[in-house]
């Protein structure tokens, strides 16, 4: 279930020049960070670490972080607060960082990221998010009219024959099923609501 999502958008060869890198939130444990006063990454931490690595590779590129407050049951801090401190700790120049603290879901990520980035014709922007989340994210960015190159990270399934080998990590297996079901439900709901361009967006 998870591998089908993760394999939908293969990681592309990187272009020579990149104008900007959009990284979607979801990698910070803001509940822990808020109470302990320091950034704490969860299993989706590849999103922000790979984004920083790409920023090293493309020193002129902007880094746009999109992630507001998704908490429903309690007051929380925007992920942008944590992201700002995290990127600063990794010596990303402040004038390269764009922060969107309004987005509460993937569709709003796309809409507000385009608003903030103001991409111009001919510019190249990368989209960094978890591989399993990439189909829904790309569908939203297409509807928002923001042309991006998908750069999936945070893989949770092996590739090739290893995918079919039994795993003893029962709890992690259940977690993968949980996240996969959430993505499939999200794909259907977003498409019905007109937030994605296809039921299961694919590379063009």
Q: 18-58 pLDDT, tens per residue?
A: 999 999 999 988 888 778 878 889 889 999 999 999 999 99
Domain boundaries, the chain: 2-7+16-192
Quick one: which of 135, 108, 142, 151 has its CA closest to 20?
A: 151
Q: How far apart are CA 37 and CA 29, in angstroms?
A: 11
Confidence of residue 77 (pLDDT cuts 50, 70, 90): confident
Strand, coil or helix: 46 = helix
Report d(CA 133, CA 50) in Å as an integer.
16
7-18 confidence digits (pLDDT tens)? 999 999 999 999
Which CATH superfamily does the domain covering 2-7+16-192 fall into? Answer: HUPs (3.40.50.620)
pTM (two decimals): 0.91
CA angle 170, 171, 172 (to 5 degrees): 95
Average pLDDT over residues 177-190: 96
pLDDT category at 70 given cuts 50, 70, 90 is low
């Amino acid at each position: 279930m998870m591998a089908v999502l993760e394999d939908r958008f293969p990681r592309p060869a990187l272009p020579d020049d990149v104008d900007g890198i959009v990284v979607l939130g979801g990698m910070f444990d803001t509940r822990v960070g808020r109470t302990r006063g320091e950034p704490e990454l969860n299993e989706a931490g590849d999103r922000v670490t790979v984004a920083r690595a790409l920023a090293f590779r493309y020193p002129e590129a902007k880094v746009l972080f999109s992630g507001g407050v998704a908490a429903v049951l309690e007051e929380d801090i925007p992920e942008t607060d944590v992201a700002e401190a995290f990127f600063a700790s990794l010596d990303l120049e402040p004038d390269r960082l764009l922060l969107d603290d309004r987005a509460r879901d993937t569709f709003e990520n796309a809409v507000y990221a385009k608003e903030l980035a103001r991409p111009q014709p001919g510019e190249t922007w990368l989209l960094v998010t978890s591989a399993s989340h990439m189909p829904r994210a790309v569908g939203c960015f297409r509807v928002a009219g923001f042309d991006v190159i998908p750069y999936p990270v945070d893989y949770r399934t092996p590739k090739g024959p290893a995918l079919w080998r039994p795993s003893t990590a029962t709890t992690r297996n259940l977690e993968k099923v949980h996240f996969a079901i959430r993505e499939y439900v999200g794909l259907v709901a977003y498409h019905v609501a007109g937030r994605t361009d296809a039921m299961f967006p694919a590379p063009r």
